[in-house]
Amino acid sequence: MPRALIAGAGIGGLSCGIALARAGWQVQIFEQAANLSEIGAGVQLGPNATRILDHWKLLPALRQSAFKPAALCARDWRSGQVLNRSPLNADPAADGGSPYLQLHRADLQAVLRSALESLAGAQLLLDHPVDGVDPDTASLSCGGRIFRGDLVVGADGIRSTLRHLLFSDSATRYTGQSAWRLMLPANRLPAGLIPPETSLWMGPGRHLVHYYVRGGQLVNVVGVVEQPDWTPANWVEAADFAELQADFRGAHPDIQALIAAAESLPCYRWALHDRAPMPQWYRARALLLGDACHPTLPFLAQGAAMAIEDAAVLAGELARSADIEAALQRYQERRQPRTRWVQQASRRNARIFHLRGVAAGLRNWTMRHGLAGPGRLTRRLYEHDVLHPGARD
Ligand code: FAD
């Protein structure tokens, strides 16, 4: 039985472990953290991701803790005027196997972990930071111990150690944008404040997204603000509630009410980092997957979905032949164009969301009159089916 050694047990690493173990591989996942815990934040999964999770038979478990939004609604952040409302989960046929779901990250992680650990030959090793890799012998090292396999997967996130070891790559770049992330109990909010849909409020140099998770018990909030002068010492920094309030001063009263409900909670500001698309994703029998090779800004809500797609494509290509390096070449060829497009479209969305003055007025007018909106983009994202042999990548 071939053996895969995977660095990182995020959404990408766990998905890769599930995909490979289902395809008959022995899998060991090495996670640096002593406990697998997720930040208190939400994650949206489009049909392109849930179709794969359904194939892995995980949808029933995910549905228990997910929320299914009715639409994506874009509004002007000050007036609250609806600029565009695109239905989600409207097609009952697609809903069966590829719904649009919103989850607390801990709930998604729990489902993925339990699926992995129920598969024969799969093992999760916590407190195992990977510090070395040899792509020619498909081995990695961890605190002085060497582990040998047939394949090494670097799924160790945007600050990937494996990316650095394999490609001596450049550092990440602060995008000049920071993100507030809040998780609020729905029962602490005024009744009717949060509709059962994803709300996107667009304002000058900032935007705010909110949606329900955990069956509607919690509301996830992400507020992104352009902050080019900030020089973050850390990726996440504790910040004052007053700063959060100041960042959204002047916004619609619904946003103010939402933020006011966070007054007693600890507030954190994330520095959003980026990296240019990379030309080569593998060396010999070691490859990168997920944020390690294509970190994706959150403005399309597709970074985790791309990691899940990577995992499914990798397992599919490895199943097609015994030649691992040839499979890795096909994996790279299939995944690079799509992930590059998603990285670039996510960056472009930030510019559109944050327009000011006349440009913002024009954006709002074209959206209100149905001349612009997420339609074509979301079709290209959501209809993509990596499991189907004829799928266009
Ligand atoms: P990570 O989640 O970063 O996991 C990497 C893992 O590797 C971690 O567990 C880490 O501890 C471990 N690790 C690191 N180094 C080592 C080492 N040396 N040895 C062993 N283990 C190691 N995406 C969506 O699809 N939908 C969304 O709605 C969405 N919203 C987002 C909102 C925000 C504000 C942000 C910032 C991102 C969002 N994303 C979203 C993107 C998504 O979170 C990421 O793309 C995704 O989590 C990447 O998963 P990953 O497994 O590749 O990396």
Q: Tell me the average pLDDT across 278-294.
A: 97
Cα distances (Å, whole numbers) of residue 348 to 298, 300, 334, 341, 343 = 11, 10, 23, 10, 9
Who's near 150: CB < 8 A, 6+ residues apart? 2, 3, 4, 138, 285, 324
Residue with CA closest to ligand 1 atom 53: 157
- Write down the mean pLDDT value for the chain: 93
pLDDT above 60: residue 356: yes
Which of 18, 30, 32, when mutated, tests ligand 1's pocket best, judged by the most ligand atoms within 8 Å of its CB?
A: 32
Which tens digit of pLDDT belongs to each residue from 146-157? Answer: 999 999 999 999
For ligand 1, atom 33: residue with the closest CA = 298
State the distance between the two ends of the chain, measured CA to CA, in whole angstroms: 29
| The pLDDT of residue 250 | 94
Which residues are CB-contacts of 55 (< 8 A; sequence separation ≥ 6)? 312, 387
Average of per-residue pLDDT across 54-60: 97
Q: How many Cα atoms occupy the beta-carbon half-sphere of 63 within 13 Å?
A: 10
Closest C-alpha residue for ligand 1 atom 47: 304
Query: Tens of pLDDT along 321-338?
Result: 889 999 999 999 999 999
Integer CA distances (angstroms), 30 to 33, 36, 108, 142, 340, in order: 9, 11, 19, 9, 27
Per-residue pLDDT at 37: 79
Q: Which of 47-61, 72-86, 309-323, 360-374 has the lowest mean pLDDT?
A: 360-374
Residue 121 pLDDT > 80, yes or no? yes
The whole-angstrom separation of Cα 267 and Cα 180 is 7
Is the per-residue pLDDT at 225 higher than 80? yes
**Nearest-atom index, ligand 1, CA of 102:** 28
Local structure of 176: helix, strand or coil: strand
Q: What is the pLDDT of residue 210?
A: 98
Per-residue model confidence (pLDDT) at position 393: 54
- Return the higher-pLDDT residue of 238 and 213: 213
The number of C-alpha atoms within 13 Å of 203 and in the hemisphere containing its C-beta is 20
**Closest ligand 1 atom to Cα of 36:** 9
- CA 9 / ligand 1 centre spacing (Å): 9
pLDDT at 39 over 80: no
Query: For the chain, how are helix, strand and coil distributed in percent, rounded to 5?
Result: 40, 25, 35
pLDDT at position 377 is 85
Residue 170 has pLDDT above 80, yes or no: no
Q: Are 268 and 234 spatial neighbours (Cβ–Cβ below 8 Å)?
A: no
pLDDT at 74: 96
User: How far apart, in whole angstroms, are the C-alpha atoms of residue 358 and residue 278?
Assistant: 36
Distance 184 CA to ligand 1 centre (A): 22
Ligand 1 centroid to Cα of residue 70, in Å, is 26
- Which among 113, 156, 161 is the best mutation to test ligand 1's pocket, defined by most ligand atoms within 8 Å of the CB? 156
- Model confidence at 193, pLDDT cuts 50, 70, 90, reads very high
For the entire predicted model, the pTM comes to: 0.96
Res 235: pLDDT: 85
- Answer for the pair 133, 154: CB distance below 8 angstroms, yes or no: yes
- Is there a catalytic annotation at residue 282? no
Instruction: Give the pLDDT band of residue 194 (cuts 50, 70, 90).
Output: very high
What digits encode the pLDDT tens for the residues 3-25?
A: 999 999 999 999 999 999 999 99
- Closest residue by Cα to atom 37, ligand 1, is 298
Ligand 1 centre and the CA of 386: distance in Å? 21
pLDDT digits (tens, 9 = 90+) for 76-112: 999 999 999 999 998 776 677 899 999 999 999 999 9
Question: pLDDT at position 390, please?
Answer: 65
Tokens read off for 205: 């140099």
Pairing of strands 206-213, 267-274: unpaired
pLDDT for the residue numbered 389: 60
Atom of ligand 1 at shortest range from CA of 296: 45
Q: Binning pLDDT at 50, 70 and 90, where does residue 388 land?
A: confident
Report percent pLDDT > 90 for the chain.
83
Choose the catalytic residue: 100, 211, 331, 382. 211
Rounded distance from Cα 167 to ligand 1 centre (Å): 20
Over residues 178-188, the pLDDT tens digits come to 999 999 999 99
Summarize the confidence of residues 267-289 as an average pLDDT.
94
Q: How much distance in Å is there from the Cα of 16 to the middle of ligand 1?
A: 13
Residues having CB closer than 6 A to ligand 1 are: 7-13, 30-33, 43-44, 129-130, 155-157, 161, 179, 181, 222, 270, 290-292, 296, 298, 301-305, 307
